Structure 1
Amino acid sequence: MNWISDWALPKISGLFKRDVPENLWHKCPSCEQMIFRRDLETALHVCQHCGHHMRISAARRLECTLDPGFSRIELPRAPADPLRFRDQRRYTDRLKEAQTKSSMDDAVAVAHGAIDGQRAVVAAFEFAFMGGSMGAGVGEAIVTAAKLAVLQDAPLIVFTASGGARMQEGAVSLMQMPRTVIATRLVKEAGLPFIVVMCDPTTGGVTASFAMLGDIHIAEPNALIGFAGARVIEQTVREKLPEGFQRAEYLLEHGILDMVVKRGEMRATLARIIGLLRTPLVEAPAEAPAPEAAEGLPSEAEASPAKA
């Protein structure tokens, strides 16, 4: 029987074997339903069964937000390892690995173009790049995006997805908080809209700096938004936190956010907001006074005798 298992069965299997891509299907991390990857791409990585918004790359974020023909800009390079940090691995090795996987120099990509015809400068965080952590490179990206928005007289839109400050850069990372705050001031002093779209997750130093200083605050459904983790807060206040605490819907209900928008509706919503904020209001001309009033004569109603 060895010839059957060793020779015949492999020959028969080889006749009917087909190469099936390993990434043909994707399982939703929320409802665990299997989704055809092509359908998932069409739906902008939103589960068609439960509506869960999965994380997407910064490049994909720019593609689905800006009109075709937008341009990405080259960002200034920050010091690679200012503190010569090392834990289990060298920080430079971690950076090289993240750059290879994401094809980005750091955790933010910046582009300029239009959104349904409305000019805009867009910065998008890449969470896959060391958790979207904010180091000197991210600070440079936000400052550059703000200066570009002022130069082009265009609103600045930032899609945030970050775990906070980058611990490998220590105090250098913390200094990016006031730097990004100053960048937002440049945009506002120029009279330009600053819109923040908070994606899952937006936490730590990003939340504690520029992310909460927008003129309009938008979030994707069920996005985690906060400074410290829920467990740390519970241990500090010694109280049980409400259901859905630090989620987008809870923050909208308590006035922290202006709106929660689904990913498929984000582009149209941003275009509408920019149009409302940038289009000057045309005041209706004042009505001309009646001829009698203009000449100081009594009006027709005053001149006619009162009816019994």
Structure 2
Amino acid sequence: MSEPEAKRTKTTPAKTAPAKDPEEEPASEAKVAILRIHGPDKKGIVAAFSQLLYGHGCGIINAEQSTDTAANLFFQRIAFDYSTMHTDRTAITHGVKEVCDRFSMTYSLNWNDTKKKIAIMVSKYDHCLWELLLRHRAGELDCEIVAMISNHEDLRSVAETFDIPYHVFKVTKATKAKVEEEELKLLKDVHNVDLVILARYMQIISDNFCRVFDHKVINIHHSFLPAFIGGRPYHRAHDRGVKLIGATAHYATADLDEGPIIEQDITRISHRDAVNDLIRKGRLLEKNVLVTAVKAHLEDRIIVYNNKCVVFD
């Protein structure tokens, strides 16, 4: 090339794409499953499940464990991300079963791809009901409320406010068995309910109801069980001059108010408190304790054994 031609030729520098900001790149959404195991305490359990999940390409997000040394039982809850797994759910489930069989463990595996469906059973008291509905609306309870059942019409307007189907079943001693059969059909066949919440439902449910929803019925009780069981509990507590009142959330079982306890709380009482003060303080405890118990169940943080509960953080 001659010198004049060289002067006329311009070299255009290559354009480079602007560097991407790592914060702008969308992160892959984690798919979190919950594995709960319990059984005889033996060496190698933690390592076996860690190796199993790692081998399938899953990452452990959180793992919490506990041991009942008196009963020689081991409990563990593992939250793991399966969005990066290089096998499939069937292979992981098969692996979990194989490890559990090897260590004589029982397990529960929830892939968290569908929300749990819950039904609330109420009578006339509405403080626990409102707390559940408002916490759910605020996104604090990850579930779908599919039905409300009552033996009174009083709270229908509350259900309509939140667009929840409201079903009234009038219960008498003569019709109790038939009515409960209809309720179970509604809950299981129509709504496919996973959890029933007795939000101050003032009817005794049957042994059969508890068997159908084994450890899937949560009741709130207005005291530390078994104190002041029955009617007018706060009046009786006031008459005894108690210095503490409490609330207990537990799974309903065939033994009335003797099911596994999930959550409890207390508040102090003094001679200055009248019955209405006890009721007010007690209701605050009831609704908070019930929500805490329901949230633990929805998040698969409970393992039931020997009529007791291990409740992980």
The question of a shared fold, defined as TM-score above 0.5 by the shorter chain, is answered with no
Q: Which has the higher strand share?
A: 2
Report the TM-score, using the length of structure 1 for normalisation: 0.28
Which has the larger share of helix?
1
